[in-house]
Structure 1
Amino acid sequence: MPLVERYILKIAVTAFLVCLLGLTAVIWLTQALREVDLLTGQGQTLVVFLTFTLLSLPALVAIIAPVALFIAILYTLNKLNGDSELVVMNAAGMSFWRIMRPFGWLTGGVAAMVGVMAVVLVPASFNELRFLITQIRADFVANLVREGQFTEIDRGVTFSFRERSGEALMGIFLQDRRDERRTLVYIAEIGQIAQVDEESYLVLERGSVHTLTPGARDSSIVAFKRYAVDLSAFAPQGDLTFFKPRERSTGELLTIDDSDPVYAAFPGRFRSELHDRLSAWLYVLAMAAIAFAALGDARTTRQGRGLAIAAAIGGVVALRVAGFAATSAAARSDIAVVMVWAIPVLTLIGAFVIMNHGARLRRMLPAPKLPALPARLRSAPPGGVG
């Protein structure tokens, strides 16, 4: 790669990384602050909190990377033009497409990265996030129950403990009235949560199980030194794990079974999600093409580029709004799937037309009218005004 192309690529890559890291850090921090309740209100550990927030990073990067690339290209082209470097390159015989070559390498790399993330990493992170959310919800002791309170964690199930002592719960009371034929009451001095084969158990020590039968005068009591209660039997109902389209792998979306209950209820969402993933890389190319079309040619410092930058930003906003609208419409109609692909492709074609014929189009526009010179200056001798 020639030295001048390496120089352009270095500026563009540096600007892209700065934009990507800066925007990702700001947005990730705002989302992390919203999840502080995992630590304060739901009693989860710092590891769970960091895992929960970091799993959202792939989706953030996939959304931010095209925007960061667009900003980096605008910055680099504007900087090269402001320093008159584009004018010098053109005067030295460098063609427009040769100047754009290093930007093409960067755009291709970002498009490949976004494509891999959209197809593989983002659904995998959402899938892991769903498992984590399900696990947090299943831990009703951390979520629902507070010290010294009798809490109904499900219809007919009441749980309470006196206090915490490290990982142990002191003074356990658990009543199960779901079976109309009998009522079970668990009382223990100490209880502790244990994980066995991804299942949660409440291990009770030094307690008893009371069985109350309707109509019976007495209850049966069984004392124990150690007893394990399956917590999944007491978890709130309706927490079955149903994976949404965005939480499923691309291979699963391509080979979805018609008997899947979620697919049977929302087939359009699966179709929309699939095409949105597969077309994500095209929007990277379209955004880069808009930036090239707006600022790719050299102009003198007297020719303002503010209008071109504003037009490029407006074009990107319109592109993304149209893309989101097409993706939403694809969930309701098969025909709208064509628009998911057509919008970035048509944008690319339009940008290439402007890049190829931009100079000719500008010559067709009326030249700006300059203010007339005063009469005494128009009639002044070449040597100046006396």
Structure 2
Amino acid sequence: MTLLERYILKIAFTAFAACLIALTGVIWITQALRELDLLTGKGQTLFIFLTVTGLSLPALISVISPVALFLATIYALNKLNGDSELIVMSAAGMRPLKLLRPFLVLAAFVCFIVGMITIYIMPASFQELRNLFTKIRADFVATMAKEGQFITLENGITFHYRERSGEALLGIFMEDQRVKDKVVVYLAERGQTVEANGQAYLVLEKGSVQRKEPNSRDSSIVAFERYAVDLAAFNQDGGDIIYKPRERGTIQLLFPDKTELLYQYQEGRFRAELHDRLSSWLYPLAMMVIAFAALGDARTTRQGRGLAIASAVLGVVVLRIAGFAASSAVVRTPVAVIGVYGVPILAVTISLMLILQGSSIRTIRAKARVLGRALIPSRNSQTQKA
């Protein structure tokens, strides 16, 4: 790589890093504000809060990186043109493909980072996030319940205790409405959370369990001296965590268990998630080439670049809309997989054709100017002889 190419790469990389850090920071703050309930409402520690918000960073970076590269390309080309450096390079005979080379190097780096994040890091972060939230919800007695207050979880569990005596809870009321036709009510004089073999249990003492019979007004009441409730069972049937397609590793999506009920019910989502991951690395390259095709030509200060920037932004918007449409279509039909890869590849092809076409036009114009200068002296000499 020549000194000039390293200079261009330095400008583009600095702009990319600045855009990536700024955009990621702003969006991360908005995500962190949404999770403040972990500290205020659910009584979690600052470490848990930072862990939850930090696990969302890989997904943010994978989405923001192509946009940051697009903005960095626009900034670098505008800066080179504004300082008349792009005009000098063009006048010195620097070909557009040579000018494109440092941007391709940066795009290759971003494509590699995005590919690694979407294929390996992001699924692991989503899976860890699901495990953490499951653990928080399972231990809702210790983390969410407050003395004298009724709390209602999203899955239909209502919990209340009158007061706390040391580590014991007094006057416990718990209602399980996960199954609407089969409501279960637990009443106990006292209880205490116990952890055994990695599972959280609520051990109730001197109370009763009231179960309402399905499709009936009758209910049964069973008194007990000691009764253990598995808190993890309030989150998943059977206590097992069922991961969504985006929370599964890429190998699991490549070789899924076709006998699994979730896969049979959401086969299209498994397919769409897999091909979205495998095609994600193409979008940074496509966005960079679109920006270069729109702004790679040298322009004088009298020639505005606003229209070129607007066309580049419009091209990226169309690219993303077409990509989302192809991804949605994959859920319904496997044939749409062609569109998932075809959309970014088509954008790269069209942009490169525009770049090469512009280069050919400039070459023809340059030859015409040289030919014109050669003909002018000969005409002048003929005029003088006449």
TM-score category by the smaller chain? 0.7 to 0.9
Does 2:3 correspond to 1:3? Answer: yes
Report 1:117-132 matches (<5 A): 117-132=117-132
Cα 1:4–1:213, aligned 2, differ >3 Å: closer, same or farther? closer
Change (3 A) 1:311 1:161: same
CA gap 1:244/1:170 in 2 versus in 1, 3 angstroms? closer
- Give the direction of change, closer, same or farther, for the CA distance of 1:109–1:151 in structure 2 (3 Å limit): closer
Instruction: Give 1:270 shift.
Output: 0.6
Deviation at 1:361, TM superposition (A): 6.0
Aligned-pair distance for 1:229? 3.9
Q: Which residue of 2 is the match for residue 375 of structure 1?
A: none
**CA offsets per residue over residues 221-244 of structure 1, 9 Å max, x none?**
85xxxx894533763665752211
Please give the secondary structure, in 1, of the residue aligned with 2:334. Answer: coil
CA distance in 2, matches of 1:177, 1:314: 52
Question: Residue in 2 aligned with 1:199?
Answer: 199
Residue number in structure 2 paired with 1:84: 84
Higher relative helix content: 2
Structure 1 counterpart of 2:215 = none
Shift of 1:139: 2.2
Which digits, 9 at most, give the CA deviation of each residue in 1:145-193, with x for residues without a partner? 4312467889999854334578x35435367999x9xx986434x73x4
Contact map agreement 2:39 2:46 (CA 8 A) in 1: yes
CA separation of 1:61/1:81 partners in 2, compared to 1, >3 Å: closer, same or farther?
same
Letter in 2 for 1:161: Y
Change (3 A) 1:65 1:154: closer
- Give the secondary-structure state (helix, strand or coil) at the position aligned to 1:335: helix
Does the aligned pair in 2 maintain the 1:276–1:340 contact within 8 Å? yes
Structure 2 CA distance for aligned equivalents of residues 46 and 268 of structure 1 = 38
1:315 CA drift (Å): 0.2
- TM-score, with structure 2 as normaliser: 0.80
Query: Separation in 2 of the partners of 1:349 and 1:313?
Result: 17
Aligned residue for 1:14? Answer: 14
Partner of 2:57: 57
Structure 1: distance between partners of 2:324 and 2:156: 46
1:23 and 2:23 matched: yes
The 5 A counterparts of 1:1-386 are 1-142=1-142, 145-149=145-149, 160-164=160-164, 168-171=167-170, 173=172, 186-188=188-190, 191=192, 193-202=193-202, 208-209=205-206, 229-232=228-231, 235=234, 241-359=241-359
> How far apart, in 2, do the equivalents of 1:339 and 1:213 lie?
56
Which amino acid is the alignment partner of residue 125 of structure 2? S
- Over the aligned positions, Cα root-mean-square deviation in angstroms equals 3.5
How far off its partner does 1:65 sit? 0.1
Q: Which amino acid is the alignment partner of residue 97 of structure 1? A: L
Deviations 1:26-54 (A, max 9, x none): 11111111111122122222222111111
Once the two structures are superposed, residues 195-235 of structure 1 have per-residue CA deviations (whole angstroms, 9 ceiling, x without a partner) of 4432113468xxx5457999xxxx9885xxxx894533763
- Relative to structure 1, the CA distance from residue 300 to residue 146 in structure 2 (aligned partners, 3 Å threshold; closer, same or farther) is same
CA contact (8 A) 2:16 2:68 kept: yes
Q: Deviations over 1:270-296 (max 9, x none)?
A: 111111100011111111110111111
Amino acid at match of 2:99: I
The code of the aligned residue for 1:324 comes to F
8 Å contact kept, 1:39–1:49: yes
Q: For 1:47 and 1:154, how far apart are their aligned partners in 2?
A: 24
Q: Given the two structures, how large is their TM-score scaled by the length of structure 1? A: 0.80
Larger deviation, residues 230-239 vs 136-145: 230-239
Whole-angstrom distance in 1 between the partners of 2:19 and 2:343:
25
The amino acid across from 2:264 in the alignment is A
CA distance in 2 between counterparts of 1:38 and 1:294 reads: 46
Note if contact 1:44-1:142 (Cα within 8 Å) is conserved in structure 2: no
Q: What percent of counterpart residues are identical?
A: 52
Q: The residue matched to 2:348 in structure 1 has which SS?
A: helix
Distance, in Å, in 1 between the alignment partners of 2:117 and 2:261 is 27
- Divergent runs of 4+, >4 A: 149-159, 174-178, 183-186, 210-214, 219-222, 236-240, 359-364
Cα distance in structure 2, aligned partners of 1:310 and 1:54: 34
